[in-house]
Structure 1
Amino acid sequence: MKSNNQGHTARRLSAISLAICSGIIALQAQAADTAKNKAELERIEVTARKTVENLQEVPVTVTSIGATELLENGIQVLTEVQQFSPNTTLQASRGTNSTITAFIRGVGQQDPLWGYEPGVGIYVDDVYIARPQGAVLDLLDVQQIEVLRGPQGTLYGKNTIGGAIKYVTKEMTGDTTFDIQGTVGSYNQRDMKLTGQIPLIADSLYLGFGYANLNRDGFGEFLQISQANQDAENYNKDVTAARVTLEYRPSEALFLRLAWDKTDDKSNAKGGYRLLPSLLTDAPIPNSVFDSYTSMPTWNKVELEGYSLTARWDISNQTSLKYTGAKRDSYSPTNIDFDNTPLRIFDVPAIYDDTQTTHELQLNHRGEGYQLVSGIYYYDGESCGQFQAILEVLGQSLGAPGLTREVSGCNNSTSKAAYAQASIDLSEQWSMTLGARYTRDSKEATVNNGLVFDTVYPESGWIPGYQRPAGQLVPTVLDDDADWSRFTPRVGVEYQHSRDLMFFASYAQGFKSGTFNPRASTAEPAADPEIVDSFELGMKSEWNNNLRANLTLFSLDHKDRQYISVLPGATSADLNQRLGNIGKSSANGAELELTYIASEALSFDVALGYIDSDFEEVLDTNPTTGEIFDKSDRFSIANTPELTVNLGASYRIYSEFGDFVVNASYYHRGDYVLFEEDSLLDQDSYALVNLSINWFSQDGRWRVGLHGKNLTDEEYMIGGYQFVTPDPTAPNDPSKYTPGLGGDNTLVGYFGGPRTISLTVGYRF
């Protein structure tokens, strides 16, 4: 069966490749006919290999979205970048606006609990963001966003087995500038952004600043609210963000940057949409997917603060030394109502508390016929938290005041690494890339887990008048440590056929760190690291200076996948969760990115991704018999559509009244599942239609943008919870389920934004 599947995949990839090549040839012929328009592609510079290079000369699959493109398309948050990058998923996770779910080529991490490592690395000015809380960044003073697809285990290290997202802010020019921007829009959107810079010492010392206040009413409401700590707005936004930067250039060879940033997200906790009627309440299924019920407080908070220092010394024209050090803190008390009813059936208040410190020293050298990037890296992170699974209704049915499973603990880690990657010219046309990284990780974990026969919140005063019961302590079930080390290589070969045409092939390996189960109920061992081996065959090309066509074929093997198995216990109050390396999967796919400059006024962009991914083996153990069995037929790759397509067009009108830019896009995502095992939450394919109209004054000071997003008002799921199972007496009847934890039908979806219209006005002094 697997052999037949592989043959089918190969035939499908071959057909796609032929179709793509045919399209490129056709566009090439059309490009030759329109070359007389004298419109040319602009050069795009990226830092994918930790040095500034032309996008077309980098043998890495990377998408770069610049500040102008982000502005003209009205892109406001990092998750919107997914439409520009093939085979990429960036979504706001379930109960908050600020927690990210990131998958690239079917590789990522869905569970945001402390201790779990991401599969896609997020970087802000080369500073690694270790936790998903707060990683849905609002774009402020950004220069470009880069999406690196495939394992980045050499230059970026562990936890980039799917890829990396790089958020690059602007370096200062030394001029005095001040930019103010305001936005109003649907659902009472009210945004304000201020950015600017001031030279403190001419040509050497500059102060930069940025401030954003972002507000929006909810897309929906919490229904039947009755408590003083509940607000009716669901899917609202209330974010403030600030950034201060000090840059010092004492000489042409030395650059220093000291930066501080803080984000305070006070948006309400998001309530999910019940897909099944409740068995324990009479509340009907809401009319809107953005409406919900809750018995919890609706307040929510994500606080982020960070400091960083960057120092760059150009020792000579060939050699530079760079240091980046940073400290970041994150604190997130949150309220997630799993059952989304007015009763405390399955409520989960939680606290996430994280601190991380990173240091990186990097040496770059460009010699005769070669280029070297090397460095050492150190990470020290403390990731702690607690959550209460409150099952009050179930506890009362057992004759107790309530019932709570309380879990708390820490999963602290250090990581040390050394890396080097060289690009070596073998001839005028042939070159090769050799890279390696050695990483050593250490983790210490404690887990406290137990039942309390009462209703327990993380802190006294969590709800008005509530005091935490005294003497309610749960046992420590795990206190352990472990070490892992890994050598991750990269090998590539490049052929520069001509100035505008390059072919490349590469092999790269990445690994995601081992970890302990933060929900452990016994002293179980840590899970080993995950490993991804990836092969790529690519082409980067430009034709007649007005057609850019970049194509990549890839194949990856994902081994030792970490997975939580949720097993039934003696009663429905038990939640026995085991973490282990139980599976392996594979993926084959193609990615095409086209830019076609039809004329000085008209241009087109295409981003197409196709992936065929599947679990090949998922081994589990029968808890009763001890028998090992394969259940891969019950598993699917989550958050990974088979097909993603973005078709974009831009038209510019130059007039005496200023310049007008019209951008339109059609973004298609194929169907996908939201959970790996026995997913009951499936999203059918859908498309988003976006339209933007921009005006820029002739002096470059004023700008106005009218942006319409999801104009067809599509409803699409981006997250959810499932704590039900199909009724074994009617397995083919999708309307019949067996209740899960808490005794209710908990099948809940969270949805992407509805149709919105916004108007932005900006002025630069």
Structure 2
Amino acid sequence: MRLTNKKLKQLNRSAAAMLAITGSTLAMAHAQTTPADAPPSQEVATEASMGKVVVTARRREETLQDVPVSVTAYSAEQLSKQGIPDITALAFSLPNTTLKASRATNSTLTAFIRGVGQQDPLAGFEAGVGIYLDDIYLARPQGAVAEIYDVERIEVLRGPQGTLYGRNTIGGAVKYVTRKLGPKTDVRLKATAGNHGQLDGVLTASTPISEGARIGGSIAKFTRDGFGTNHTTGKGNYDKDLTAARLSAEFMPTPDLFIRIAGDATQDDSNPKNGHRLIVGRTSGAPILGNVFDTRANLTQALGHDQEVKAHGVSALIEWSMSPEMTFKSVTAARKDKSYAPIDFDSLAVTDFHVPALYKNKQFSQEFQVTYTGDRLQGVAGVYYIDANAFNIFDTILAGAVPTSTFTKGDIDTKAWAVFADANYKVSDAFSVSLGGRYTVDKREASVLRQIYFGAAGSPGLGNAGAVLFRTDTDFTRGELEREDKKFTPKVGLAYKVNDDHNVYASWARGFKGGGFDPRMNVVGGRLPPAQARAGYSPENIDTVELGLKSAFNGGRILTNVALFNSDYEDVQIPGSVAIDTNGDGKDDSFAGVTTNAGKAKIKGFELEANARITDQFTLSGMYSYIDAKYTRFIVAGVDQSANRVFQNTPENSANLRAAYDIPMPVMGHNGRWTVSANVAYKDDTNQFETKSLLDQEAYTLWDASVVWTSANGKIRAGVHGKNLGNEEYKTGGYLFPTLGFEGTLTAFYGNPRTVSATLEYRF
């Protein structure tokens, strides 16, 4: 990263301020004489109550400070008090993590952890970061930007995951844990109102129906006007219209048997989310709009449908305690989603570069696992199976001397199974050794069709029955595109408890992600050799060595988690699309997928998370992370281009600092406590692709603040939350095709502007 003088001064000032605050924090915390286990002055939990956080990162309950894994956990209490709206907001307090809505969508997730991730949501591309809902792996990113409601906690694990989780994920895992139903009738209501016309409501209720059975559910509605305006349609841009629901039934026929049947559904009826042009129209001279959230896009439908995302799933969980030490678990799940996505690349009131698209995904998964928890030996062993299909069709409609519509269809099946085990043995009370292994078989079968039609009215596949076929560039049916990848991935770990307050650990883990087929491949026009197309792209592998220290100081008033990691990343899968000249006239007239295995990369970094209780009322928490991610081999047309390539969605430095103060104070005769908090987050320069471009985002800082009152009995909570109070404009993605169409495409998408909301939560 090349730092300008201005940026260097800004980073130095930020670092100096954080160090000064941290130094004062440590001094004050060490001087504090109040016992760490002193009870709070009221019944309600406070920001300063730093109790033990229990996580299930290793498939068994352990405290956050004891588990020898890089994991960050957020409780429902934390999420509520900080007014976290959805999973993407967590990225600003997570080390070396990027979570964001993908370009041109509200609900598709782009996730990167420690430089490893996946930006392209098309069929055929596996996620680099696994998203789990109650142990259920979500195979596709569509609908994964979930609003946060009805959760017990969220856990984020960094580094390869395979010996503990059903599906192998090479970069890390994000795990939603929903709460189990309580033994008494419980009804909760949460309402939110904010600027930009925000109105949200969540109703949650559960009740026992017999001594061994309980039912419950939640229904939620999230709405917002646009941050900007579509000057062509008059509708809001970046609006929200989302409905979500969950239902579950839990049965306990015996004290040793627990069964949960659950279902969830989400529907997103928001307007199409369109980008902001960064260049003047090449032919029309259309000027750049003043508001980055405004657009002139005119594409409103795909296959005759307004933009719409539907997702639903059902699951069955069985937990059987076979003995005090051994538990059997079965997790069965099925999910489906469908997205109609009218994507206007050019963001102008003309048909210059349009991509109406349909995505359909379905999956079935089954996992069996056995956990053992003895005095010396603890571990988990399991088998996992997934059968998933990802299907997409879209037209690429381009203006030109001869307008064309290129139809692309990708239909890809994934069948994978694995056996995995992970065991931890306590050699002594202080020293333990863990060994794990996973054997994975990933099988892909695909069909890909790419056809060019004359005209800008679309192809028969997207509703234009009268379209005239010009040429078929790619036509692979099932049986022609098949590959099977097999891999054994081990893990070794050592942990040493220096004393009750300090735990040191070291680990080595190998991660693996299977190969596949690019559904946008262009064999004729793009001159991709058929043999190369049939082979697809290869699996990627990563070896990660990590050294960590988890510490507590001053009777638990200061908690710190430090990790150093070093990764060797090979055969990195780089999906992308480029403008191409299909007729040899020297002008780009289409685009095609170009997915390569980049070669090799080195990734090393440092992560620090800290939490200090200054007094019983005042806490400071913070995070700092650094990452050095470089390609050491990146072959393009036989030439190593590693010196000219960068890692996408991986800022070199990230930092976060949060201060919270609790003030006991009754309101309207109810005893309670005010919590006043402020948060500042810093992200370094961020590249959107593997090559630098105008879409890259310079370093930026976000400021948040909240004021929350919670009643002593925990039944009432009211708060005001301000996000991005400095109204910082920062890019999160975009499209870069300046040579296509008459106007050229260079459009950017942005993170949320300043928002202010008021929330009221009531528990009956």
TM-score (norm 2): 0.90
Q: Alignment partner of 1:673: what SS?
A: coil
Which stretch shifts more, 285-294 or 651-660? Answer: 651-660
**Counterpart residue number, 1:636:** 646
The CA distance in 2 between the partners of 1:564 and 1:67, in whole Å, is 36
Equivalent of residue 312 in structure 2, options 287, 301, 305: 305
Q: 1:647 is aligned with what amino acid?
A: L
Percent pairwise identity: 39
The aligned residue for residue 528 of structure 1 is 538
Relative to structure 1, the CA distance from residue 497 to residue 412 in structure 2 (aligned partners, 3 Å threshold; closer, same or farther) is same
Distance 2:719 2:674 in 1: 10
How big is the shift at 1:368?
A: 3.8
Distance 2:730 2:592 in 1: 31
Cross-structure match for 2:12: none
Contact 2:497–2:504 under 8 Å retained in 1: yes
**What is aligned with 2:714?**
700
Residue 501 (structure 1) aligns with: 502
Quote how far apart the aligned CAs of 1:53 are. Answer: 1.0
Distance, in Å, in 2 between the alignment partners of 1:20 and 1:501 is 24
Structure 2 letter corresponding to 1:285: I
CA separation in 2, counterparts of 1:471 and 1:458? 8
Q: Distance in 2 between matches of 1:425 and 1:20?
A: 38
- Does structure 2 retain, via aligned residues, the 8 Å contact 1:456–1:468? no
1:120–1:159 Cα contact (<8 Å) kept: no
The code of the aligned residue for 2:30 comes to A
Is residue 2:297 matched to residue 1:294?
Answer: yes
Secondary structure in structure 1 of the residue aligned to 2:91? helix
Which residue number in structure 2 is paired with residue 666 of structure 1?
680
Q: Tell me what 1:618 maps to.
A: 634
Between the aligned partners of 2:633 and 2:620, the Cα distance in structure 1 is 42
1:90-109 aligned at under 5 Å gives the runs 90-109=99-118
Tell me what 1:756 maps to.
Answer: 755
Q: Give the structure 2 partner of residue 436 of structure 1.
A: 437
**Number of matched residues?**
712
RMSD: 2.1
Aligned equivalents of 1:121, 1:222: Cα separation in 2: 34
The one-letter code matched in structure 2 to 1:751 is: Y
Among residues 590, 593, 603, which one is paired with 1:587 in the alignment?
A: 603
Superposed displacement of residue 585, structure 1: 1.3
How far apart are residue 558 of structure 1 and its match? 1.2
Alpha-carbon distance change, 150 to 26 in structure 1, aligned in 2, over 3 angstroms: farther
Match of residue 228 from structure 1: none
Match of 1:148 among 153, 157, 161: 157
- Displacement of 1:76 in angstroms is 1.5
Please give the alpha-carbon distance, in whole angstroms, between the structure 1 residues aligned to 2:504 and 2:433.
11
Where 2:181 maps in the other structure, the secondary structure is coil
Asked if the contact 2:293–2:750 (Cα under 8 Å) also holds between the matched residues in 1, the reply is yes
Amino acid at match of 2:224: R
Residues 582-591 or 259-268, more deviating: 582-591
Q: 1:643 to 1:678 in 2, by over 3 A?
A: closer
1:527-546 map, 5 Å: 527-543=537-553, 544-546=555-557
1:56 CA displacement: 1.1
The yes-or-no answer on 1:236 pairing with 2:239 is: yes
Query: Would the alpha carbon gap of residues 278 and 692 (structure 1) be closer, same or farther in structure 2, given more than 3 Å must change?
Result: same
Deviations along 1:305-324, whole A, 9 cap, x unmatched?
00000000001110000000
Q: Is the 8 A contact 1:514 1:527 kept in 2?
A: yes
Give runs of aligned pairs for residues 108-119 of structure 1, distance below 5 A.
108-119=117-128
Deviation of 1:474 after TM superposition, in Å, equals 4.9
Alignment partner of 2:334 out of 327, 331, 334: 327
Distance 2:115 2:473 in 1: 37
Cα offset for 1:42?
0.5
Secondary structure at the residue paired with 1:32? Answer: helix
Aligned partner of 1:32 in structure 2 is 30
- Aligned counterpart in structure 2 of residue 62 of structure 1, from 44, 59, 71: 71
Instruction: Give secondary structure in 2 for the equivalent of 1:69.
Output: helix
CA contact (8 A) 2:406 2:459 kept: no
Q: Secondary structure at the match of 1:293?
A: coil
Could you say which residue in structure 1 is the equivalent of 2:699?
A: 685
**Contact 1:211–1:241, Cα closer than 8 Å, also in 2:** yes
One-letter amino acid of the structure 1 residue matched with residue 655 of structure 2 = V
Amino acid at match of 2:330: Y
Q: Which residue of 2 aligns with 1:736?
A: none
Cα distance in 1, alignment partners of residues 20 and 290 from structure 2: 47
Matched, 1:74 2:83: yes
Q: Deviations over 1:58-117 (max 9, x none)?
A: 110000010000000001111111122111100011101001110011110111111111
Q: Which residue identity is paired with 2:328?
A: L
Q: Is the 8 A contact 2:353 2:396 kept in 1?
A: yes
Note the C-alpha offset of 1:563.
2.1
Query: Is the 1:417–1:437 contact (alpha carbons within 8 Å) kept by the matching residues of 2?
Result: yes
Q: Following superposition of structure 1 onto structure 2, how do residues 92-491 of structure 1 map, counting pairs within 5 Å?
A: 92-156=101-165, 160-202=169-211, 204-225=212-233, 232-297=235-300, 299-391=306-398, 393-394=399-400, 397-398=401-402, 402-457=403-458, 467-469=464-466, 474=472, 477-479=475-477, 480-491=481-492
Q: CA deviation at 1:51?
A: 1.3
Alpha carbons of structure 1 residues 754 and 567: separation in structure 2 relative to 1, 3 Å? closer
How many angstroms apart in 1 are the aligned matches of 2:210 and 2:203? 22
Q: Deviation of residue 612 (structure 1)?
A: 1.1
Cα distance, 1:576 vs structure 2: 4.2
**CA–CA separation in structure 1 for the residues paired with 2:755 and 2:353:** 33
Does the CA contact (< 8 Å) of 1:350 and 1:388 recur in 2?
A: yes
Q: Deviations over 1:399-425 (max 9, x none)?
A: xxx311110021111010000000011
CA contact 1:157–1:439 (8 Å) conserved in 2: no
In the superposition, the TM-score normalised over structure 1's length comes to 0.90
Other-structure match for 1:729: none
- Whether the 8 Å CA contact 1:434–1:492 is kept in 2: the answer is yes
CA offset at residue 341 of structure 1?
A: 1.0
What SS does the corresponding residue of 1:224 show, helix, strand or coil?
coil
**5+ residue gaps in structure 2?**
1-14, 39-48, 524-529
Deviation by residue 1:518-545 (Cα, 9 ceiling, x = unmatched): 1112241211111111010000111122
Q: Distance in 1 between matches of 2:713 and 2:159?
A: 42
- Give the letter for the 2:711 counterpart: S
Q: CA deviation at 1:467?
A: 4.6
3-state SS of 1:633 partner:
helix
In structure 2, the partner of 1:722 is 736
SS at match of 1:70: helix
2:568 aligned to which of 547, 551, 557: 557
Give the Å deviation of 1:282: 3.7
* Matching residue's letter, 1:469: G
357 and 614 in structure 1: CA distance in 2 versus 1, 3 angstrom threshold: same
Higher mean displacement: 537-546 or 306-315: 537-546
Structure 2 distance, partners of 1:49, 1:459, is 50
- Could you say what secondary structure the match of 2:31 adopts? helix
C-alpha contact 2:163 2:422 (8 A) present in aligned 1: yes
1:403-451: per-residue Cα shift (whole Å, max 9, x none)?
1111002111101000000001112211111000000011101100021
- Matches of 2:656 and 2:33 in 1, distance apart? 25
Question: How far apart in 2 are the matches of 1:470 and 1:722?
Answer: 28
Counterpart code for 1:550: N
2:620 to 604, 609, 623: 604
Matched position secondary structure for 1:36: coil
Letter of the 1:511 partner, please give it: F
**Matches of 1:456 and 1:618, distance apart in 2:** 39
Give the 3-state SS of the residue equivalent to 1:187 in structure 2.
coil
* Aligned amino acid, residue 34 of structure 2: K
Residue 258 of structure 1: how far off its partner (Å): 0.3
Amino acid at match of 1:409: G
Equivalent pair of 1:456/1:469 in contact (CA under 8 Å): no
1:264-284 superposed Cα distances (whole Å, 9 cap, x missing partner): 001111110000101122422
Q: Is the 8 A contact 2:368 2:383 kept in 1?
A: yes
